[in-house]
């Protein structure tokens, strides 16, 4: 299971093509449309159904990501867990956005990273990850206590083994 955090404010206002620089292969309008699609995907909590092939193709070539074997591989590496999502957003938020906008999508990268930072989305996912980890640890502790008891009978054995 993984955290899904919706943040509708992330996509408003939409990217303005007039503020983007076209490249040889992409118009400013294309950059704005795809940038809006990426923002929409992240704002909706990164649903797997929204991770289209076109989105994968673009995102895997931005922010220093690499194209995993395929879309499912990228999903599994970066988006299939809360910890993976934290790493995904960290990479976006911290990436220095190399290049010139006439040759790369660095203008779109910068805008999306800025919005993620402004709306504290990374912090929200970090908090969710910490809660998820604590819940998992508490369930594991409960299972261990149920199995071995809580009377401390195992402590002398553990001390002999140098565990305490």
pLDDT tens digit sequence for 94-139? 999 999 999 999 999 999 999 999 999 999 999 999 999 999 999 9
Domain enclosing residue 66, as ranges? 8-126
Q: How far apart are CA 116 and CA 40, in angstroms?
A: 12
Whether residue 34 lies inside any domain: the answer is yes
Whether residue 153 lies inside any domain: the answer is no
Whether residue 36 lies inside any domain: the answer is yes
Q: What is the pTM of this model?
A: 0.87
Whether residue 152 lies inside any domain: the answer is no
pLDDT number for residue 2: 87
Whether residue 24 lies inside any domain: the answer is yes
The number of distinct structural domains making up the chain is: 1
What number of H helices and E strands is found in the chain? 7, 0
| Whole-number Cα distances in Å, 68 to 71, 80, 119 | 7, 14, 28
Whether residue 160 lies inside any domain: the answer is no
Q: Kindly state the DSSP code that residue 44 receives in the 8-state scheme.
A: T
pLDDT number for residue 160: 65
Whether residue 147 lies inside any domain: the answer is no
- Chain-centroid distance, C-alpha 108: 17
pLDDT number for residue 163: 61
Whether residue 118 lies inside any domain: the answer is yes
pLDDT number for residue 45: 97
Low-confidence ranges of the chain (pLDDT < 50): none
């Amino acid at each position: 299971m993984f955290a899904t955090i919706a943040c509708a404010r992330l996509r408003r206002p939409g990217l303005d093509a007039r503020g983007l620089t076209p490249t040889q292969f992409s118009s400013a309008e294309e950059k704005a449309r795809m940038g809006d699609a990426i923002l929409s995907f992240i704002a909706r909590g990164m649903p797997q159904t929204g991770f289209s092939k076109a989105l994968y193709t673009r995102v895997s070539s931005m922010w220093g990501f690499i194209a995993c074997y395929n879309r499912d591989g990228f999903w599994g590496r970066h988006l299939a867990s809360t910890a993976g999502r934290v790493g995904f957003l960290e990479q976006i938020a911290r990436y220095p956005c190399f290049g010139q906008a006439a040759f790369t999508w660095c203008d779109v990268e910068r805008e999306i990273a800025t919005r993620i930072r402004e709306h504290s989305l990374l912090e929200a996912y970090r908090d969710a990850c910490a809660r998820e980890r604590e819940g998992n640890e508490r369930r594991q502790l409960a299972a261990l206590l149920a199995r071995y008891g809580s009377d401390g009978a195992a402590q002398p054995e553990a001390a002999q083994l140098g565990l305490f």
